[in-house]
Structure 1
Amino acid sequence: MSPRQLTVRFHGALNDFLAPERRNVAFTHALQGSPSVKDLIESLGPPHPEVAVVLVDGDPVGFEHRAEADTSLVVYPALQAPRVPPESRVGPPLPEMPRFVLDVGLGRLSGFLRMLGFDTLWRNDFADDHLARLSRQESRVLLTRDLGVLKRSEVVHGYFPRATDPAHQLVEVVRRYELTSRMRPFSRCMACNAPLTTATPDEVQGRVPEGVAGRHSHFRQCPGCQRVFWPGTHHDRMQALVDTLRRLEAVGT
């Protein structure tokens, strides 16, 4: 008997998860049983949270659709997906103001996202099952470089940062979730994630280095960890990063 086969084609950034000979081309795949589209896609490499649209013989289907022989499966990520009705995309829509939860290896990225004003959970002792559960229960985007965690069935929204440098990872995440217009820089504590409040020099006296209260009149403080922030050299570096992100959006790169 000839093997039961279907044709598969991945687009855009999903090719990052494929073997080199399968990238950006249609290829045949031997079908074992009748797996769901979700299970078939993940068996080939890409994690389901990075998939936005799945077409079978040109028609959009959901993750639960059963793969069949002699059909064509075409899979798109969010930024390269064709226009289809919202209900034809796989997975629920992202909240208007995304929130994030990050794995242990992305601590610096969590600080950057908080610096941009996004509610971001990170701890160095989050277990994999806890990350997946938080992501689902609180509708948070899970950011991780562990594909096993990203492929857990509980995870709805998620992304695998390709870069290893935190600043480059930030650019990826901002582009992927179109965050530039939603940024609220310096509104959240980079250390503990709490929203910051304004403070006067008198209110922060004794909690900042000697002379700082005399040189600065604008402060923000964290009601959670009691840290105080002011527009010093570190602030200037962070502002430069924010400006770079906005320029990237303006030129569309």
Structure 2
Amino acid sequence: MDMGQPKAQVTMRFHGALNDFLSPAHRHQTFSHALRGRPSVKDLIESLGPPHPEMDVVRVDGEAVGFTHRVQPGACVEVYPTSMVEEPGVRVGPPLQDTPRFVLDVGLGRLVGFLRMLGFDALWRNDFADDTLARLSHDEDRILLSRDIGVLKRGEVLRGYFPRSTDPAEQLVEVVRRYGLTSRMHPFSRCVACNAALTSAEPSEVAGRIPERVAERHSRFQQCPDCQRVYWAGTHHQRMQALVVRLRELEGAP
């Protein structure tokens, strides 16, 4: 009986946080995978789950390769997330930005407020379509934060991250750690409502736009030049300051 030709196989191994995207049977171990045709490294890896912006180094038979490398039968493919390889040779992901900027999908509205509170340029609208998110990420060199893996797999997306937690405060911790943001934070310098940079304001400039009791107790204000919101160091400011302190304590923590 003719059983046909044996299927072409490759050996796969994913490291670190990339295992979050794999099926349970493939996590934290080397496994064989059927090879169909001669796919690019990017297409092969993404067919198993991980989106390409989460990858930093791909090695085929021990050699670092780019996303367009064509995988041959019998190859051994190892995939590493950011910061796991000290001497990578060839990185498939772009280097970290000096001043990270973000665009967030519709499901991350609370996270965007946290990022703006820390002073980061973060775009968000509750009607951003997937193609708009991908275009903004590419054209404006922004990090796309999304819990939609399909959006992160779009070819034009170069920078991106999938927050694992569904809790906005924990998502913030993830993003701060992933992009090393503690030294880049400028808290309370950006409007949490519309993303514009805040300017200082004299009490006379904001008179009539703040409650009387606030005018009596505070003399330092900031205002948004775009939406005209006024900010002062009230109880909400104090809670946010405590969050900033916590984030800075996380620097260097395992």
What TM-score bracket applies, with the shorter chain setting the length?
over 0.9
Matches within 5 A, 1:1-253: 1-85=5-89, 88-250=90-252, 252-253=253-254
Residues 185-209 of structure 1: per-residue CA shift (max 9 Å, x gap): 0010000000000111111111111
The Cα shift of 1:139 comes to 0.2
Shift of 1:93: 1.9
In structure 2, what is the Cα distance between the partners aligned to 1:74 and 1:82?
A: 15
2:85 and 2:52 map into 1 onto residues whose CA distance is 14
For 1:53, what is the secondary structure of its paired residue?
A: strand
User: 2:150 & 2:57 partners in 1: Cα distance?
Assistant: 21
Aligned partner letter, 1:36:
S
Q: Distance in 2 between matches of 1:158 and 1:46?
A: 12
CA distance in 2, matches of 1:165, 1:84: 33
Deviation string 1:212-252 (CA, Å, 9 cap, x unpaired) is 122111111100100000000000110011100000114x1
SS in 2 for 1:202: helix
Number of residues of Structure 1 aligned to a counterpart in Structure 2: 250
Pairwise CA distance, 1:83: 2.3
CA distance in 1, matches of 2:220, 2:40: 56
Counterpart Cα distance in 2 of 1:57 and 1:34: 16
Aligned equivalents of 1:81, 1:141: Cα separation in 2: 21
CA distance in 2, matches of 1:93, 1:8: 25
- Asked if 2 retains the 8 angstrom alpha-carbon contact of 1:201 and 1:214, the reply is no
Given residue 96 of structure 1, which amino acid in structure 2 is its aligned partner? Answer: D
The residue type equivalent to 2:81 in the other structure is P
Unaligned runs of 5+ in 1: none
- In 2: Cα distance, 1:232 partner to 1:83 partner: 48
Letter paired with 2:236? H
Q: Aligned with 1:155: secondary structure? A: coil
Which sits farther off after the overlay, 241-250 or 123-132? 241-250
Scaled by the length of structure 1, the TM-score of the pair is 0.97
**How far 1:82 sits from its partner (Å)?**
3.7
Mean Cα displacement is larger for which, 207-216 or 19-28?
Answer: 207-216
d(CA) in 2 for partners of 1:209, 1:56:
64
